Amino acid sequence: MKVSILFIYLIMISSMIISQEFSISGDVESNFFYIEGLEDDCITGLTGSVFFNYYTIDNFSIVADLESEGSLSSDSSTDIMNIVVKQLYMNFFIEDFICYIGKKSKRIGSAEWFNISNRITPTFLDQGSRNNSSIGMVDIEYMFTNHINIDLITYFPDTKINIASSVTMSFLYLDLDLNYYFEEMENHYTAINLSSQLDRFNIYCEGSINEDYDIKLSLGTTYGGDTINITTEVLYGEENYYGGFSFTKSNLFIDNLTFNFSTLHSISDNTEEFWDLYSVDGAVSISYMYKDLLFTGYFNRSFGGDESEYILQNEVDFTLGLITSIYF
């Protein structure tokens, strides 16, 4: 009898064999900031990030994207390392449905800076380079056909409930997204994205309109060469016009040396709106890769309102990686 039970138990266990994999990657950076105008104008910091990805071969995965930051100064009051959860979500697939639950970045549209069609987690500038915000959401994607995707997202900024839906279409060289946002269950926004690849140029357009017929439009193009990347983008709003330009050259004079310059300018006088997102007006960075080490030097000039600040930053990154498969 005991042998039979054990046998049945073993069969049950063996029928639940699931192959699984982990991947962990991360980096550690030491930073030195010089910010003009501060009483203690030199700040040293240490930041690190870990991207953890667990998945079963079949249909389930968990992603955790964590970041920590702190000061290295001995007399600093902020020398305790803070851990920030940038993303933490699980996703699973059933037939033609993909479901994401948790805090994550949702990428909508192609714009580098003026990501106006994305009302959920728009991209923003962080010391000259683009970054993504994240938010708690339940996102269900349905693959309607090979070319059409339907997306329903419920997201929760400041404990309020927002709902968004989008239809993504892809035909030959043209990608088209139609997005509708119902924010705090009362405000409506409609947004559209169009993008197309023409040879080495990616041309894109984002537009949004709210219930007061406030129209915003951003237009951009990216040129992708073997060692050169150039992006230009403009934002047109009712009262403000912005222009952005970015130039990146890798293998500058020698292999592994990369130069980046990006700038954003307000073309109109009104600089109040969008300032939190588009505050850097000039950033230069040079990075050099040696084996697994990436040395980067930044110089940023940014200003918000009447203030302006210069940031000089050095950074040394190294990455770590691990992939492990386990079988139950």
Provide the binding-site residues for other proteins, judged by CB under 8 A.
21, 23-25, 51, 53, 55, 61, 65, 93, 98, 104-107, 110, 132, 141, 143, 146-147, 149, 168, 170, 172-173, 175, 195-197, 199-200, 202, 224-226, 250, 255, 319-323
Q: Which helix (H) or strand (E) holds 106?
A: none
Total length of the chain: 328
Q: 43 near 30, Cβ under 8 Å?
A: no
CB atoms within 10 A of CB 106: 21
**Residue 157: helix, strand or coil by DSSP?**
helix
Instruction: Provide, rounded to whole angstroms, the least separation between the CB of residue 107 and other proteins.
Output: 4
Which residue do the tokens 């912005």 mark? 242
Q: How many Å apart are CA 68 and CA 84, to the nearest integer?
A: 6
Q: Which is nearer to other proteins, 71 or 250 (CB)?
A: 250
Instruction: Provide, rounded to whole angstroms, the least separation between the CB of residue 217 and other proteins.
Output: 21
User: Please, which contacts does 225-228 make with residues 24 or more away whose CB atoms are closer than 8 Å?
Assistant: 225/200, 227/251
Instruction: Provide, rounded to whole angstroms, the least separation between the CB of residue 313 and other proteins.
Output: 22
Give just the sign of the alpha carbon dihedral 170, 51, 124, 160: positive
Q: Which is nearer to other proteins, 7 or 97 (CB)?
A: 97
First vs last C-alpha separation in the chain: 26
Q: 205 near 194, Cβ under 8 Å?
A: yes
Instruction: Provide, rounded to whole angstroms, the least separation between the CB of residue 268 and other proteins.
Output: 30
Instruction: Provide, rounded to whole angstroms, the least separation between the CB of residue 184 and other proteins.
Output: 24
Q: How many Å apart are CA 90 and CA 144, to the nearest integer?
A: 22
Q: Which is nearer to other proteins, 217 or 289 (CB)?
A: 289
- Class of residue 93 by CB neighbours under 10 A (exposed 0-12, middle 13-18, buried 19+): middle
Q: Which residues pair with 191 in a beta bridge?
A: 179, 208
Instruction: Provide, rounded to whole angstroms, the least separation between the CB of residue 130 and other proteins.
Output: 9
Between the alpha carbon of residue 111 and those of residues 192, 232, 259, the distances in Å are: 12, 10, 21
Instruction: Provide, rounded to whole angstroms, the least separation between the CB of residue 102 and other proteins.
Output: 13
